């Protein structure tokens, strides 16, 4: 395919790729038959929306997209066991992972049980002392004082710890890849079991928990009991779906769309406190869920007290919410400082090893296990390759990996564990965790690179920049951006639309903040647009654009509304640029 606008190599070294011919033809049809602006038609065409389905796509109804919970194996036994525990006032413990998905999943159950007149115990393992998922000591301890333990966002591979639970029943609600054998417990509800169809494999754990609540409400309704209002709980499902980088397609898209609407009502104290501490003065978007709320909720599990995030999401006390949000905000600041140090060292090590293979990895003593996953994400983004980062404490290393589209990292890590190269390992397509001994490091990474290479990892250079079309300053209006937002939410599996402003003249450039660049541009007409380029100094865009010398430039990125001091202005979030030949 011919490079878009003829840009084979941009200022960041990328090739620009426009819509394929079939997408362009569909965009024309959408524009003509549905009366959509060209930019909106291009975005919908890229997502495969047909003219006859436009209305339903722009206003997705959860009732039309929600799958039958009973389509998941073990859903019936799981719902029955929880309802029995509720009816007979049994002691219930919720064992949750320490990330956003685990915290939101736990909060969903705690909230539902509380509204049903029953309190449960929350247990979140410490990342450093206990590691991911159930462990023998914790499960045995909980079993001594509880009748039912519900594991959320974990437990599918925890055969030993679940056996250690002794007299307590265990229900697992998870989405991580399962092995051929499941643990011996009441139920394992997981769309990524090997005996599932995989049709719901894109659900995060909170989505699985929500389906369980739907089924429990249905069973209660048949018994003449009115259950809690589940629509008000979609804020937690939306947060977990975006923060866990689940695909924003199908029911996930409806979860997030409607969950954002719930959040805008500011009814959940924990999310209100998060918005306030982040100085968010308007309704959140999917961007805020992933990059403003998510990191703060995660901060406790990464470098602080593991249960802070779940407690924040579950509390109904505004005072407690404000205190917890403040603590998490401070921890998130500390996390960023730790992350920056590890990121710089990991990137330098990976560059020395080489960035042209199917796997980019780095390992060292003392790297905080709470930030290795974030640093792996940074390496993946910088190299367009799966990345693994491992921190060693003595002879054992704990690491985390992130993958690129089309490469199943979780399955490869699980295979390494089966082959004995890892002490423990698992995850899903885009992310995985692992632990290993120091002696196994080189053999394990060599084998992992081999497995990922067979899936096509490492075949490309820097990722192509995929663009939806062109915009001119006069057409970049707040109304257009509202229409583009209706085609969202955007995230994993549904990239935000990117447009090019072609042949622009730069009116000004101004360094701001820590290495960012603010600029203004025009096509010579009466309308000018401002842009912000984050980390411009690191990417090389900053020095090039500051020394433009009056040259015309193509500017590529995402259009958005910049809210500042009560004013709204269109802004381009600049991601790339190329000189006009």
What is the predicted pLDDT for the residue at 462?
59
Taken in order 174, 180, 185, 187, the sign of the CA dihedral is positive
Question: How many C-alpha atoms does 134 have within 13 Å on its Cβ side?
Answer: 32
Q: Which two tokens stand for residue 8?
A: 């084979």
Classify domain 4-18+467-579 by CATH number.
2.40.50.460
What are the residue ranges in the chain where pLDDT is below 70?
Answer: 1, 460-463, 565-566
Distance of CA 35 to the CA centre of its chain: 33
CA–CA distance, 375 with 360 (Å, rounded to integer): 11
What is the predicted pLDDT for the residue at 241?
96
Per-residue pLDDT of 64-88, as tens digits, reads 999 999 999 999 999 999 999 999 9
Q: Is the peptide bond before 219 cis (omega within 30 degrees of 0)?
A: no
Q: Which two tokens stand for residue 446?
A: 């060599």
Highest CATH level, class, for 354-454: alpha beta
Q: Which fold has domain 65-329?
A: inorganic pyrophosphatase (n-terminal core) (3.90.1640)
What is the predicted pLDDT for the residue at 568?
81
pTM confidence score:
0.88
Query: Cβ neighbours of residue 22 under 8 Å, at least 6 residues apart?
Result: none
CA–CA distance, 159 with 452 (Å, rounded to integer): 27
The DSSP H or E segment spanning 169 is strand 169-173
**Of the candidates 225, 230, 263, which has an alpha carbon nearest to the alpha carbon of residue 112?**
230
What is the predicted pLDDT for the residue at 461?
57
What is the predicted pLDDT for the residue at 135?
96
Q: What is the DSSP letter of 120?
A: -
């Amino acid at each position: 395919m011919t490079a878009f606008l003829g840009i084979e190599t941009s200022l960041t070294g990328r090739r620009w790729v426009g819509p394929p011919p079939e997408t362009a033809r569909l965009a024309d049809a959408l524009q003509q038959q549905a009366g959509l602006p060209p930019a909106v038609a291009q975005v919908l065409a890229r997502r495969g929306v047909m003219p006859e389905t436009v209305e339903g796509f722009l206003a997705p109804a959860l009732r039309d997209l929600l799958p039958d919970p009973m389509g998941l194996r073990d859903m019936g036994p799981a719902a029955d066991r929880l309802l029995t525990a509720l009816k007979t006032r049994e002691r219930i413990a919720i064992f949750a992972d320490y990330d956003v998905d685990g915290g939101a999943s736990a909060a969903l159950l705690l909230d539902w049980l509380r509204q049903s007149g029953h309190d449960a115990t929350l247990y979140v393992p410490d990342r450093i002392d206990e590691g991911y998922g159930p462990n023998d000591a914790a499960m045995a301890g909980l079993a001594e004082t509880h009748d039912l333990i519900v594991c959320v966002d974990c437990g599918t591979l925890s055969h030993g710890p679940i056996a250690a639970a002794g007299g307590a029943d265990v229900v697992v609600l998870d989405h991580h890849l399962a092995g051929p054998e499941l643990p011996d417990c009441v139920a394992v509800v997981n769309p990524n079991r090997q005996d599932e169809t995989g049709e719901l494999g894109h659900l995060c754990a909170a989505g699985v928990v929500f389906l369980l609540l739907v089924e429990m409400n249905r069973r209660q309704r048949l018994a003449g009991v009115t259950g809690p209002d589940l629509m008000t709980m979609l804020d937690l499902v939306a947060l977990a779906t975006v923060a866990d980088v689940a695909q924003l397609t199908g029911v996930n898209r409806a979860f997030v769309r409607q969950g954002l609407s719930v959040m805008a009502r500011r009814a959940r104290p924990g999310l209100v406190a998060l918005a306030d501490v982040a100085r968010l003065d308007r309704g959140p978007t999917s961007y805020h869920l992933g990059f403003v709320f998510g990191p703060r909720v995660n901060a406790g599990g990464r470098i602080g007290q593991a249960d802070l995030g779940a407690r924040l999401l579950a509390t109904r006390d505004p005072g407690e919410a404000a205190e917890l949000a403040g603590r998490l905000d401070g921890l998130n600041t500390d996390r960023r400082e730790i992350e920056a140090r590890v990121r710089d060292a990991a990137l330098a090590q990976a560059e020395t090893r080489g960035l042209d293979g199917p796997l980019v990895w780095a390992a060292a003593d003392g790297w905080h296990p709470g930030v290795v996953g974030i640093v792996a994400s940074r390496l993946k983004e910088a190299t367009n390759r799966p990345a693994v980062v491992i921190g060693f404490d003595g002879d054992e290393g704990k690491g985390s990996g992130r993958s690129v589209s089309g490469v199943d990292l979780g399955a490869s890590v699980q295979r390494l564990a089966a082959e004995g190269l890892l002490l423990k390992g698992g995850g899903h397509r885009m992310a995985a965790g692992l632990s290993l001994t120091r002696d196994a490091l080189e053999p394990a990474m060599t084998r992992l690179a081999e497995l990922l290479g067979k899936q096509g990892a490492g075949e490309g250079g820097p990722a192509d920049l995929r663009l939806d079309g062109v915009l001119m300053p006069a057409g970049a209006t707040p109304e257009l951006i509202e229409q583009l937002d209706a085609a969202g939410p955007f995230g994993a599996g549904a990239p935000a639309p990117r447009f090019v402003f072609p042949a622009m003249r730069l009116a000004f450039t101004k360094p701001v903040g820590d290495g960012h660049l603010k600029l203004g541009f025009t096509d010579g007409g009466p309308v000018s647009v401002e842009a912000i380029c984050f980390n411009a100094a690191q990417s090389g865009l900053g020095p090039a654009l500051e020394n433009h010398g009056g040259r015309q430039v193509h500017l590529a990125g995402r259009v958005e509304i910049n809210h500042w001091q009560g004013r709204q202005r269109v802004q381009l979030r600049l991601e790339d640029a190329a000189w006009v030949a």
